[in-house]
A and B are shown apart, each in its own frame.
Chain A
Amino acid sequence: MLFLQGYLDEQFNQLEELQDETSPNFVEEVVVFDKYPQDFYRLDSLVHTLKGRGTSIGAMRMKNECSVLKAHCNNKNLEGCRRSLQKMKREHATLKQKLEAYCQMMRQVGPRERAVNSRK
Chain B
Amino acid sequence: MPTNNVVDQRISKFKNKGKDLAKLREKRISECVELRKAQKNENFLKRRNITLSSLPDEEALSPENDTVGLHYRIEDIIRDVNSKDREAQTRGCQAARKLLSKGRDPPLKEIIDAGLLSPFVSFLAMDDESTLQFEAAWALTNIASGTSWHTQQVVEHGAVPAFINLLASPVLHISEQAVWALGNIAGDGAAYRDILIECNVIPALALMVQNYGYLQVGYVRNLTWTLSNLCRNKNPCPPLSAVQQMLPALIQLLHLSDKDILSDACWAISYLSDGSNDRIDVVVKTGIVPRLVQLMNSKELSIVTPALRSIGNIVSGSNLHTQMAIDAGALNVLPNLLRHPKPTVQKEAAWALSNIAAGPCKQIQQLITCGLLPPLVEVLRNGDFKTQKEAVWAVTNFTSGGTVEQVVKLVQSGALEAIINLLQVKDAKVILVLLEAVNNIFMAAEKLGETEKLCLLIEELGGLERLEVLQNHPNEMVYQSAHDLIQKYFNDVVQVDATQNLFQTSDVKKTFEF
Real binding pair: no
Taking Cβ atoms with an 8 Å cutoff, the residues of A that contact B are none
Taking Cβ atoms with an 8 Å cutoff, the residues of B that contact A are none
